[in-house]
Structure 1
Amino acid sequence: MTLASQQQSISAENNHSNIRIATINLFNFIEPPLAFYDFENIYSHGQWQKKCQWFGELLNQYHPDIVGFQEVFSPEPLKQLTAQQGLTHFAIVDSATLVSDYIYQSPVVALASRFPILDVHAIEPEAHLVAAMGLSSQFSFSRKVLRATVDIPQIGACDCYVVHFKSKRPGLALEPHPLGLTLSAPPTLALHSETKLLTEQALGRWASTMQRGAEAALLFHAILARRQSRRYPVILMGDFNDSLSMGALDALTLEGEHLHSKDIKAAGLGHLSDAARLAVFAQYRLQDAYELFVAANMPDNLVHSREHRAATHYYGPKGSVLDYILLSNEFDASDSRSLAQVVDYQTCDRHLVRPEYERDAYSTDHAPVWVELALRR
């Protein structure tokens, strides 16, 4: 029997006990009469009902067991909506910021689960690492990272992280930047409007990239430290606002094969054989669920599948993959110690590529990502 056939067989036999994970950017999920960012941004009652109905139908169709949400302004309606779909356990570690009256900004992340949540924690960057990276002492995650430890049947405690990394929006001159950067010119030089705008764009985009990269590296450290102490499997999901193939997010998928030999020796690991060293690093590795799915189910089409991967967000006609689910080695079919494997992966993009106004007008500008895991016997 081929590897692909084995995966399909496992999926069919254990479908009743398979675990389904999803990440969903809710795109300004705020209950009227509250407004997002501006006093004019208020849903009517009918618009709000359509938005909630769209997400309710999505959850009912894909039936996820654990969902990470981004862009949450109104957590209570979301908690009620998910409970109606059997996701009766809910976690949140922050709240949106009230600007004035009924206007809010800075939406947060949340997690809903069909399984019990054992612990909830907000990840904070460690001050000494922030200083070592040369960042401002005022540095913080642009959105607080949520870690919920979920008790998954036949797997046990699993650390689920939900993120919404800094966007690419170059808002350097428009809002306080988490890196503590501000834009100014020499007092003797009055910048022309076009010069100022281009400067803001150039510096703002790079500042956002630095912020996103710092968030990824500091979060990776937190995941590694937790992994070392508890050994729980890891699921990291959310809106990464960048491609994993770009340098800013390199830290999240760092692996032993790409470390310099001098660094390995300096760390006291030079005595290990190549196989032993890779086994040590593998327990800390995070892998893209899509890559794991293709490798386990369509190994001969790996290159083709990468080239034709569905986008999760569009800026005009250009599509990008910004939403991810990363998994630890417990979910890697090629690892002899794995507990489960990825048997399905879907990008729920109908509302982006074939939208119908009546159905999709108040949905989201991202494509939710859905992954199915089959327990290994």
Structure 2
Amino acid sequence: MALMVVASGNPLASSAGRILSSSLAASSSGAPLPTGFSGPYPSVITGLAGWWDAGALSGVLDLNGNVVGSFNSTVGALADKTGQGAALVPFHYFVNVTQNPTLVVPRINGFLGAVGSPDATIAQYGPSLDPDWGLSLAALDLGNAAAWTVYLVWTRPNWRQGTYQVNNDPTPLIHDMASGITVVQAGGPTGVGLVLFANTPHSVTITPTLARRHSHALIMRNTPGSGVDVWLDGVPVVTAAANPLPASSGGQVLLFHDSTAQGSAQCWFHEAAHWARALDAADIATLIACQGRWVLGSRRGVNLLVTGQSNAEWFVQSGAPLALARGVAWYLGAASWAATSLQSG
């Protein structure tokens, strides 16, 4: 935790030393500047069967199927950058209600963007993401007799919030609709960190702890007859885990949702890819190098404390503290923001 103060000539300073003396820069057009990452990208690995990228606008489509013109635009789908036409589309459990729009938002991970469904109303901490939002892929075979490799990068800004009764429950990251099995599950405030094949006899812990706010990259590889190997942020963490899915399970797969009421993981989507083969060691090393464009690990949140009387109270009532906290979070590259107020004197 860092306590920040603003003083003349010493902006946003911490008692442990300066955090940042200038904001993240932007080009004259307002577009994020390059991060310096020059590759590789998943497309260099042979046999790429699907690739979706929300880090830049080129892979994000509007409701008419055209590339969006700017960040903070409404998203209709994420284009399959392999050209095979398997789009990732927004998913909601409730279909006969007005749905919160899906947006492509900048600077969720450094200068890179993400797709999600932020709610205008903040539950406890911003951003409050829609508890009934996920992404759907029409067909993906994760069966135990199929050779496959899956890659996913995401950011979780907060615990679940704003739900009726599942705020403390684990959250689904990858869910196979045909079998009803949550392939990867992230623990909530009281759960285990990251679990493979949760709630099955073959459940395996990927990592026992998971920061409340984080950005991570996950690689899963299924080799028929051997099982599933997992890498988290480039580190091998699971070897030859039994795959409880049927031999062939080529139906709909959800990201960040398990097809239950308010079943969203409330995460930001950054990037995903899959191959219909088990990548060899050299290919895995290349895919790990692809993660170099993302900042991975635990993330920070900003909480602005306001205390005082009179003008301070008007300041709070106007909603300005939350807006200021959001600006500070933007400035520092924090994953979330909040404001706490207390009358004093």
- The answer to which structure has the higher strand fraction is 2
Q: Which has the larger radius of gyration?
A: 1
- The answer to which structure has the higher helix fraction is 1
